[in-house]
């Protein structure tokens, strides 16, 4: 398969589909873009820009990770659908809550993990080189906690965490000590009673932060 940019979609039921890189280019038509995700496959959960030579890594809410090559994702022209994660172990592994595309596990940089309970962890990408489609434990989670976000940083970037009650924190990834694959996290944000982390992201240097509430209200800040 030739090397080319693609859009990888994953659904709530953990099916994946690969679309051409220009599938979401600006169009004059108001009909939108067909993603070839049927109603039976439920709604789209993640959209990731990748390359056919990339490795696409899926992280579940229970701290496990799975990796497949971009070429293994079925294209939009293929009629058969393909499960991104092992369907016979769906109950044991949890739901896919994050998708990250990387060149390879040999590259430099880190995965940043953020849990619902406010813990964070930074681990070198190379530490997960043994990850395959069969899965691997990515983070040791405390009882009652779950993984809500995972991102990649080459180092020297900032991380933003946002909670359900509208609290946030922003810090440099250099403040996090690199931890082993088998370890848990450290406190990333102090939460009030009944509050919890809903999302996080790697801060774009010149970008804005767009917040959207459950009722559809939005707010942008730098």
Q: How far is CA 124 from CA 48, 57, 127, 171, in A?
A: 21, 14, 6, 18
Per-residue pLDDT at 123? 97
Beta bridge partners of 219: 211
Q: In sequence order, what DSSP letters do the residues of 38-102 get, joined into one string?
A: -GGG--EEEEEEEETTSEEEEEETTSEEEEEEGGGSPBTT-SS-EESS-GGGHHHH--EEEEEEE
48: its two tokens: 């990731």
Give which of 150, 195, 194 is closest to 57, Cα–Cα: 150
CB 65 within 8 A of CB 57: yes
Examine the pLDDT at 77 and tell me if it is beyond 70: no
**How far is residue 17 CA from its own chain's centroid?**
16
Integer CA distances (angstroms), 144 to 87, 96, 116, 135, 151, in order: 24, 17, 9, 21, 22
DSSP-derived secondary structure letter, 187: E
pLDDT at position 94 is: 64
Tell me which of 68-72, 114-118, 153-157 is least confident.
Answer: 68-72
Structure-token pair, residue 57: 């890594």
CA separation for the pair 165, 195 (Å, rounded)? 6
Range(s) for CATH 2.120.10.90 in the chain? 105-222
Name the pLDDT band for 152 (thresholds 50, 70, 90): very high
Residue 124, pLDDT above cutoff 70? yes
Give the residue with greater pLDDT, 22 vs 19.
19
Name which of 14-18, 75-79, 195-199 the model is least confident about. Answer: 75-79
Q: Phi/psi of residue 200, each to 5°?
A: -155, 170
pLDDT at 84 over 70: no
Does the pLDDT of residue 87 top 50, yes or no?
Answer: no
Q: Which CATH class is domain 105-222?
A: mainly beta
Q: What is the mean pLDDT of the chain?
A: 82
Asked if 130 contacts 136 with a C-beta cutoff of 8 angstroms, the reply is yes
Quick one: pLDDT band at residue 89, thresholds 50, 70, 90? very low
């Amino acid at each position: 398969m030739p090397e080319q940019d693609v859009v990888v979609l994953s659904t709530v039921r953990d099916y994946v589909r690969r679309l051409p890189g220009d599938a979401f280019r600006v169009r004059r038509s108001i009909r939108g873009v067909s993603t070839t995700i049927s109603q039976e496959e439920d709604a789209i959960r993640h959209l990731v820009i990748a390359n056919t030579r990339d490795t696409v890594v899926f992280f579940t809410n229970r701290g496990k990770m799975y990796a497949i090559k971009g070429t293994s994702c079925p294209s939009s022209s293929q009629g058969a659908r393909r499960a991104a994660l092992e369907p016979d172990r769906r109950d044991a592994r949890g739901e896919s809550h994050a998708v990250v595309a990387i060149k390879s596990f040999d590259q430099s940089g880190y995965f940043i993990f953020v849990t619902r309970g406010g813990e964070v962890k930074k681990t070198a990408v190379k530490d997960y080189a043994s990850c395959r489609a069969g899965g691997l434990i990515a983070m040791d989670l405390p009882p009652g906690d779950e993984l809500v976000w995972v991102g990649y940083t080459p180092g020297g970037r900032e991380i933003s965490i946002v909670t359900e009650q509208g609290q946030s924190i922003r810090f440099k990834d250099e403040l996090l000590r690199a931890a082993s694959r088998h370890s848990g996290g450290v406190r990333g944000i102090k939460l009030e009673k009944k509050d919890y982390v809903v999302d996080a992201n790697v801060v774009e240097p010149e970008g804005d932060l767009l917040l959207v509430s459950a009722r559809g209200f939005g707010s942008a800040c730098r």
